[in-house]
Amino acid sequence: MNKQNENSNTDQKKQKKQKIKRYAFAQRKGDDFTCIKLLDGEYEGIIYKYNNVKFEEVTNSGQIPLQFTYDVFVNSEKKNVDSQQFKNYIGDILVELVDQQLKDGTLFDKQQ
């Protein structure tokens, strides 16, 4: 009988991919809000927070667009944080956060 390798190349790639975090939560002492610090890629080191996050109406394709604004607190390398590319990048992170909070049942805990 052939025995399947426990750590195939595919498994190792999945583990490596999971270990790379794109962001972490950051909070300054005295602030009553939490920021996101980007840990990897072109925007590494940027710290920002989301404002005014809201869901738009469902589109014909069944998608629910997210609208948001954001404030950047740290951008030491002077990256273009007004570009559509940056907005898409942090928008993808926001989708991840919303998805995780939906799964955890914590999305609407702090509203009201």
Whether the per-residue pLDDT at 30 is higher than 70: the answer is yes
pLDDT tens-digit readout, 70-104: 999 999 999 999 999 999 999 999 999 988 888 88
> Is pLDDT of 54 > 70?
yes
> Between these two residues, 20 and 47, which has the higher pLDDT value?
47
Q: What are phi and psi of 50, to 5 degrees?
A: -85, 145
Which range scores top for mean pLDDT: 2-16, 27-41, 93-107? 27-41
pLDDT at 36 over 90: yes
Query: What pTM does this model have?
Result: 0.72
For residue 50, give the 3-state DSSP assignment. strand
Which among 63, 57, 68, 58 has a CA at the least distance from the CA of 91? 68
- Domain residue ranges in the chain: 21-104
Residue 16 backbone dihedrals phi, psi, to 5 degrees? -65, -40
Please give the pLDDT value at position 43: 97
7 pLDDT band, cuts 50/70/90, is: very low
